[in-house]
Amino acid sequence: MNHDLAIRLREGTKHSHTMAENTAYMKCFLKGVVKTQPFRKLLSNLYFVYSALEAELSIHCHHAVVSKIYFPQLNRKAHLEEDLAYYYGNNWRELIAPSEAGRNYVAHIHEIANTEPALLVAHAYVRYLGDLSGGQGLKSIVCSALELPAHSGTRFYEFDAFPSIAAIREFKGQYRDALNSLPVDEELATKIIAEANYAFSLNRDVLHSLEPEVKAAIGENLFAEITSESKPGSTENSSGDSSENLATVD
């Protein structure tokens, strides 16, 4: 197959990526202003999203397209469970619930899995490649902002199968090769790129839904000050690896 899906996904979603980075939630995050309540709410929503995504990927793991990007070593659900127990205590399951935006995201994942499972590729790409990229920088920000002990409260960002920056980088290359080898025609490739943009918008909706939590945690004034500036996008350059631009990010 010669559809260059990896680079087309990167290029075709860079505007969406910039918008995600420019959400109020992420701007505060990048300024190092992270508070426990909004952060654990994000993890709660992601727990429902990844539970849905990973269940559907596993159900469709023999699908001709899905099987090529089926890497269970990326699974986040168990690590999110550890983080939720850290932030909410052992009865975390009774204490968490998704926001309406989180519920829509979950419903959408199940819907496409039932109608066109190949589109799960777009959702896996947006979440996992993001976690392996910007997510690695976000981890250091959370650690210092919340003064966390090592490996507590940031398990979500840790990939046991890829313990070093070099291992992550190598795997990202493997993931992009897998995207380029997908048995999809031009029509499906185009649909996957559109679906990835939709996945970004679902993520933005979740982040927007948590803005009241951020405002309540940091106060209206600081919130207004931080969110008035706009940030250039990390994937706006065309190279396949712009991680050098952010000292802490790979």
The yes or no reply on residue 76 touching ligand HEM (CB under 6 A) is no
Q: Is the dihedral of CA 27, 30, 32, 37 positive or negative?
A: positive
CA nearest neighbour of 57 among 9, 131, 127, 117: 117
What residues have CB less than 8 Å from 239, skipping those under 6 apart? Answer: none
Note whether 182 binds ligand HEM by CB under 6 A: no
Binding mask of the shown chain, residues 148 to 167, with x at each position contacting ligand HEM by CB under 6 A: --------------------
Stretch that binds ligand HEM, among 21-29, 32-40, 61-69, 76-84 (CB under 6 A): 21-29
Q: Does 137 bind ligand HEM (CB under 6 A)?
A: yes
- Does residue 112 contact residue 195 with C-beta atoms inside 8 Å? yes
Least gap, CB of 12 to ligand HEM (angstroms): 9
Contact 19, 205 (CB under 8 A): no
Amino acid at 34: V
CA 91 to chain centroid, in Å, comes to: 25
129 is an interface residue for ligand HEM by CB under 6 A? yes
Decide whether 9 or 24 has the Cβ nearer to ligand HEM. 9
Interaction site with ligand HEM (CB under 6 A): 9-10, 17, 20-21, 26, 29-30, 125-127, 129-130, 133-134, 137, 172, 200, 203, 234-235, 241-243, 246, 249
